[in-house]
A = this chain, B = another copy of it.
């Protein structure tokens, strides 16, 4: 059997898979751009859990520690996934705001994803402490981890 690169191993079945899945999840999986869809889903879910935590801190939403913990847990579940594998070579095209620097500086990009994972783990721990100041600090660190990566690797415009 011909040896395939790891990136190719991941991409290969998804091309076929995309066709099957498009019947099921058409709204959220573009079968022509499965990797772009996958990673955008991941970022969207992460943001949708981070948003309400920020809203609670700002008083825009009632303070509710059980729900805050749930949002933080779900962020931790997401960052436990290695989303970098959804950036294989060639997936820098199409509906994406991923800058070319992701592929030229992949090690740094992965390091920044690890920083995010660390920050989210601290947010998850802080959420359980009930200490609002500790939560605010962890939220700040998490937001900083998001921004540090966006500044470097996310375009303001779609690159297609």
Contacts and interface: CB of A to CB of B under 8 A. Distances in A.
A47 B24 contact: yes
A27 B21 contact: no
Given A13-B60, A62-B9, A21 B48 contact: yes
A24 B34 CA distance: 18
How many copies of the chain does the oligomer comprise? 2
Given A74-B81, A82-B70, A52 B95 contact: no
Query: In which size bucket is the chain A interface?
Result: 35 or more
Nearest to A146: B24
Main secondary structure of the interface of A (DSSP, over half): helix
Interface string A70-81: 100110011011
Contacts of A67: 6, 9-10
A91 interface: no
A9 B43 contact: no
B14 A29 contact: no
A44 interface: yes
The 3 closest A-B pairs by CB, nearest first: A41-B41, A17-B51, A28-B40
Interface of A: 1, 4, 6, 9-10, 12-14, 16-17, 20-21, 24-29, 34, 36-38, 40-45, 47-48, 51-52, 55, 60-62, 64, 67, 70, 73-74, 77-78, 80-82, 85, 95, 158
